[in-house]
Amino acid sequence: MILRSGRRIGYDNLPIDFDDASNEWMANKKKLASGVFEYLNKLTTFLLL
């Protein structure tokens, strides 16, 4: 990020692999219906929209 002073902090271009992130996110879930997922570890079930 570029600050008003012109100083740079942090990273501007983070290498994010969205395909890999999606696969990791879905690894512990089972798709039940449109927008509904159940966690495979059976601790909790969430409605994800």
pTM of full prediction above 0.85: no
pLDDT of the residue at 43:
60
| pLDDT higher than 90, residue 19 | yes
The residue that leads in pLDDT, 22 or 46, is: 22
Where along the chain do its domains lie?
18-47
The residue that leads in pLDDT, 47 or 39, is: 39
Alpha-carbon span 10 to 6, nearest angstrom: 13
| Conformational region of residue 31, where left means phi above 0, alpha means psi within -120 to 50, and beta covers everything else | beta
What average pLDDT does range 12-33 have in this prediction?
86
Phi, psi of 29 (to 5 degrees): -130, 155
The token duo for 28 is: 């512990």
